[in-house]
Amino acid sequence: MSTPTTVLCKKLGTELPALTRAPWPGELGVRIQAEISAEAWEQWKEHAKMLVNEYRLNLGSDEGRTFIAAQMKAFLFDEGTVREAAGFVPKSE
């Protein structure tokens, strides 16, 4: 089965290049590949890095994985409240 080259991205609201594989295990990974663009996934990875550092998450623990999965759904699909780091100032371009 071939992978579509573009996807109507739920996060960014426009047709953009698709992910070439599911970036997360299970049904959530399949959903992300089907509905989220590569660009939005890169944005999520930067946000996730900030969350891991700010909240000192241990992704080896069930608690850490549950937190990051919930934040991923909130960030990518607008399902819940997206957490920000206290005092975080985005890089200006």
pLDDT at 84: 82
Residues of the chain with pLDDT under 50: none
Handedness of CA 91, 67, 61, 34 (dihedral sign): negative
Q: What's the pTM value of the predicted model, to 2 decimals?
A: 0.85
For domain 6-77, the CATH class is mainly alpha
CA distances from 30 to 44, 81, 83 (A): 16, 22, 24
